[in-house]
Structure 1
């Protein structure tokens, strides 16, 4: 994997051809996702001879302009269009125009519901997303047939899409071109974390009950680095025991801490200790780092005050204070139920956190202000450090096993070939057998957590790690726990220390933890990619999901009331519109303290589980709800 890329290389690689290919890719996504959310209403105009593809047309009229887009797309369940980027054509008042994502956003601006104030920022995010795609086409264009043999971190750096739903998913506003090369997952350049010492009267360290600060930090840094940092404090005539070490992103130090925290630095509430010795690689989440020199040491996650996909990526010291307790609660719950171990469903705990309180900004602003979230960090377990519960003393990850972000199951190379199909082909299993393994590891434990324990995770691909053996998933790790789990309408009172993850949600929307988070955000994309496997179809995919759901419910009749309360076989479910959330406010999509607030929606979607049991409407029918003319924001 080439990590020796320079700014001049990027400039040279940013060619008209790659820029056009990046625009075709993003326009295809805009057409698909905005159709799915009923922001636009393309019309099916003709069948393409020889396959199940349809030709579609979108007309946008404003003042004296008439934009017309044509494209080929296959239609799948959940009103999903799989658009062929190379097929897209564009005309303005009858004259051919290049396929241009920014021009399409401008042409649609009156339909998007985005304010005039936020539109330029959204366009900047679109531009950055295009830049990222062009970079990946130049330097990360690995055919999936080769990528299936990549190691964990090579796979992490080779992901080219980001979130499958959000259009502007690689904004990274705040990074310059050098930062892009130094601190993005696709650059894969080893980096070092900067360390500060924060005085204990302003810094809080929280950890699991069995963790002692000195032993933990020394173990994470190594004895030599730990003693070196302590000696720096002694050389300043300071007592090292009065300070807590804080991991800091180098960009965050340069752009924020060194300026915004100047008073604290001058008064020695904060001491800059310089970079640590370990090299890390940036993960898909961009503010989380994997230790390359000592893989069994923890991931490190830091505050990073760049705008990326609807949030300023800071870390709140208030959230950090409660994170270990939430992780302890979730880990205890999973350990108390043999079901999870039997399904090889594991959790990577966030074992320790640190948060620094800037007194001036805390007095002047509310807790939700980005200025409260500039200087915090956490440590998350590495899967390489875990023991096999069935073989105490033995590592959980065996020598013949590899790790892979579950986001890879949505990955396609520049030729449109799906990595999941390549994995199935390389394995010894049929597509149905392979999918059954995945569902047993991923889908069924998430159902059990919800129906048996009222617990909902945030199960998007980047939040899970698959353990692979002979190209087949054999175990799974759930991560990103502290801010992204919820107790939904719990039947029992939760412990006081985790009251913050308790949410009361109307039953019809509570079941969205399955319908939206799993079906619409994950399976909607995996099913068409699995359908590219030989002798496998989209209906076979959903029939197996249906069968697994029924098998689970029959095996656990003790949750019968919950199955009635949250009906997974309802004819339809609410169509939650994630892009509309970002368009409404691309600075902060949702308030994490009010996650039960009503999310934007646009009607309903037909439930594939209901269709599987009551008769399919074929996904190739031209008549489909995506041809409705409703374009108003909900």
Structure 2
């Protein structure tokens, strides 16, 4: 524990709440967030910096807002996928021609018109930005991990050591609803292991669903132990209740104190919900905020619990829909059985950790009073997900894929530290990573029309000798989609089916993998001289071409849904958030999940290949595909 962390640890809560809000630190986190805002809003063509002239290997730009008499001058490099690599230290602000401090909140206000922020939305968005700055200052004060140290840390130390959040969203981890006392208790980068709340809920209003062979009694025996289960049953009987009329359910502590104990007060008073106590096992909050890892018994399952906060503009409440809870185990079971029969995925080592059981409670007042679906119906639910700890073999270890984008306070990259420790060259390390991660994502798409949400927080890397060997995919039922009409599939699985136009059908790869992840990883590697950006994309192309050459049976799909196309739609996720920062996605209208602004040049297109950004081996593989499987192509 560093000096700042130690000092804050012994402070009384009223002092600890603001101890990290120091002037120089605050100025730096504001500068970093303004850099990200310039980069990502410019990437989405919301802001249009003007080129002034060259400056070595960078260029000088100015971003003007004449109505506010404001301009920002900075150095930046323009990389593939229209990525703006902005030099944070170079940013200068002028108001009426005079120097002014860098202030992220002022930046949002100054550019509210081009960003399209409505007056009604502005207070909430400013609150999100303020909360992000508060958390960034806390992490800057208490998370001084060097990348080289974090690279050798264990699974949970790395999980809690991450500091950035989603790399593309500007408002990416506001967590509105947590107060300054909640933050160090429940935020993954601040919290230590803690107990969760257990309640008993009436079977009349609750529903438990498990995979085949996993009923409520077996799950409770495995997660709580027979002694705790027996104690809870005696507690119910002692209060005059029949234990057989209840199911046991975990609740996020914040949710219990801030929502359930008040919003469900009538249900508690009537004995439909009975408080049982705090868990004996301690749990570690994960980056996904609602999900807890069992720190006492790591081989036990994760627990994911509804949490009524606004986070990343995703929805009014980070809840868990009772309807989703009803179908989640069956969808997971279907997916596991399907992919377990796939010889390519099994050889590749691709793994799933399934959501094996769910429980949800319907508040009769909200059910009667609200006719439409509402987040207010989703506040008391939980699911159990398998632990990846049970998948590793001797010599292997786990790491969130988000770690590959992590930079320490000195600017050193976690990926660079891993490459250095592995003894491999950067190209070979990235080649192995792509084989473990990108190849199975491609295969699921082309072989089964399945696309995951394969961002850094949803993927766990399995490393051996500090190099990736295979991956674990999670968050399956909620974010996995099947891109067809579901003909012939079980009715419950068809809930995850969606038919998209060919123009945007590859969005799950072009946006989620290329634009929202590889774009950032390539820039990190390039800026630090670890691997030149064009070479990175050449390796991506090589991986895709090698996969396609080995699977000629999907040639028609390769041609129709061409991962080597010249360009693809520029899907703008910040535009989506700025449109409605209370409900980013509407599950009843998936078409609203897209905001486009022109196109992006594909960094692995055939033009890019011809321009020399790829290896001769990849060119041969791609040429083999074009000539023999899908026919000659002329762009």
TM-score (normalizing by structure 1): 0.93
Give the CA RMSD over aligned residues.
Answer: 1.6
Correspondence list, 1:25-40, <5 A: 25-40=32-47
Q: Which of the residues 361, 369, 387 maps onto 2:374?
A: 369
Match of 1:629 in 2: none
Shift of 1:535: 6.2
Q: Which of the residues 551, 562, 567 maps onto 1:556?
A: 551
| Cα 1:283/1:80, change in 2 over 3 Å | same
Match of 1:43 in 2: 50
Give the conservation status (yes or no) of the 8 Å contact 1:431–1:533.
Answer: no
Match of 1:378 in 2: 383
Q: Which of the residues 289, 292, 304 maps onto 1:289?
A: 292
Number of residue-to-residue matches in the alignment: 604
Q: Which of the residues 501, 504, 513 maps onto 1:506?
A: 501
Match of 2:347 in 1: 342
CA distance, structure 2, for counterparts of residue 457 and residue 274 of structure 1: 37
CA distance, structure 2, for counterparts of residue 12 and residue 509 of structure 1: 47
3-state SS of 2:182 partner: helix
Give the conservation status (yes or no) of the 8 Å contact 2:526–2:533.
Answer: yes
CA distance, structure 2, for counterparts of residue 596 and residue 344 of structure 1: 34
Match of 2:181 in 1: 178
Shift of 1:414: 1.8
State yes or no: 1:426 paired with 2:416: no
Correspondence list, 1:471-620, <5 A: 471-489=466-484, 492-532=487-527, 534=529, 536-597=531-592, 599-610=594-605, 611-615=607-611
Give the conservation status (yes or no) of the 8 Å contact 1:56–1:72.
Answer: yes
Give the conservation status (yes or no) of the 8 Å contact 2:366–2:377.
Answer: yes
| Cα 1:490/1:333, change in 2 over 3 Å | farther
State yes or no: 1:469 paired with 2:464: yes
| Cα 1:272/1:249, change in 2 over 3 Å | same
State yes or no: 1:248 paired with 2:251: yes
- 1:91-110 deviation per Cα after TM superposition (whole angstroms, max 9, x unaligned): 10111111111101000111
CA distance, structure 2, for counterparts of residue 156 and residue 107 of structure 1: 35
Query: Larger deviation: 119-128 or 605-614?
Result: 605-614
CA distance, structure 1, for counterparts of residue 454 and residue 242 of structure 2: 44
Q: Which of the residues 107, 123, 134 maps onto 1:131?
A: 134
Which structure is richer in relative contact order (CA contacts within 8 A, separation 6 or more)?
A: 1
CA distance, structure 2, for counterparts of residue 598 and residue 295 of structure 1: 36
CA distance, structure 2, for counterparts of residue 221 and residue 595 of structure 1: 38
Match of 1:203 in 2: 206
CA distance, structure 2, for counterparts of residue 535 and residue 374 of structure 1: 46
CA distance, structure 2, for counterparts of residue 536 and residue 11 of structure 1: 40
Match of 1:301 in 2: 304
Match of 1:443 in 2: 438
- 1:247-304 deviation per Cα after TM superposition (whole angstroms, max 9, x unaligned): 1011111111011111111111111112111101100011100001000010000000
Q: Which of the residues 83, 89, 103 maps onto 2:92?
A: 89
- 1:295-314 deviation per Cα after TM superposition (whole angstroms, max 9, x unaligned): 00100000000011112211
Give the conservation status (yes or no) of the 8 Å contact 1:405–1:464.
Answer: yes
Gaps of 5+ in 1: 386-395, 619-634
- 1:469-488 deviation per Cα after TM superposition (whole angstroms, max 9, x unaligned): 22111221100111100100
CA distance, structure 2, for counterparts of residue 491 and residue 352 of structure 1: 24
Give the conservation status (yes or no) of the 8 Å contact 2:199–2:250.
Answer: yes
Give the conservation status (yes or no) of the 8 Å contact 2:348–2:440.
Answer: yes
- 1:160-210 deviation per Cα after TM superposition (whole angstroms, max 9, x unaligned): 100001111111111111100100001132111101111111000001002
CA distance, structure 1, for counterparts of residue 521 and residue 375 of structure 2: 35
Shift of 1:44: 2.1
State yes or no: 1:319 paired with 2:324: yes
Match of 2:624 in 1: none
State yes or no: 1:18 paired with 2:25: yes
3-state SS of 2:479 partner: coil
Shift of 1:521: 0.7
| Cα 1:412/1:223, change in 2 over 3 Å | same
- 1:115-156 deviation per Cα after TM superposition (whole angstroms, max 9, x unaligned): 111111000000000011100000012111111111111111
Match of 2:396 in 1: 401
CA distance, structure 2, for counterparts of residue 499 and residue 490 of structure 1: 8
CA distance, structure 2, for counterparts of residue 538 and residue 331 of structure 1: 36
Shift of 1:517: 0.9
- 1:21-48 deviation per Cα after TM superposition (whole angstroms, max 9, x unaligned): 1001100000000000000001221222
CA distance, structure 2, for counterparts of residue 302 and residue 150 of structure 1: 27
Give the conservation status (yes or no) of the 8 Å contact 1:361–1:371.
Answer: yes
CA distance, structure 2, for counterparts of residue 448 and residue 597 of structure 1: 27
Match of 2:623 in 1: none
Gaps of 5+ in 2: 615-635
Match of 1:122 in 2: 125
3-state SS of 2:568 partner: strand
Give the conservation status (yes or no) of the 8 Å contact 1:504–1:596.
Answer: no
| Cα 1:598/1:176, change in 2 over 3 Å | closer
CA distance, structure 2, for counterparts of residue 139 and residue 41 of structure 1: 36
State yes or no: 1:156 paired with 2:163: no
3-state SS of 1:78 partner: helix
3-state SS of 1:586 partner: coil
Match of 1:276 in 2: 279
Shift of 1:413: 1.3
Shift of 1:398: 3.0
CA distance, structure 1, for counterparts of residue 531 and residue 19 of structure 2: 42
CA distance, structure 1, for counterparts of residue 466 and residue 191 of structure 2: 24
Q: Which of the residues 192, 207, 221 maps onto 1:218?
A: 221
Shift of 1:496: 1.1
CA distance, structure 2, for counterparts of residue 490 and residue 435 of structure 1: 36
CA distance, structure 1, for counterparts of residue 529 and residue 116 of structure 2: 42
3-state SS of 2:594 partner: coil
CA distance, structure 2, for counterparts of residue 247 and residue 206 of structure 1: 15
- 1:386-431 deviation per Cα after TM superposition (whole angstroms, max 9, x unaligned): xxxxxxxxxx313432211100111111222211111111211111
State yes or no: 1:353 paired with 2:358: yes
Which stretches of structure 1, 4 residues or longer, exceed 6 Å deviation after superposition?
Answer: none
3-state SS of 1:273 partner: strand
Match of 2:168 in 1: 165
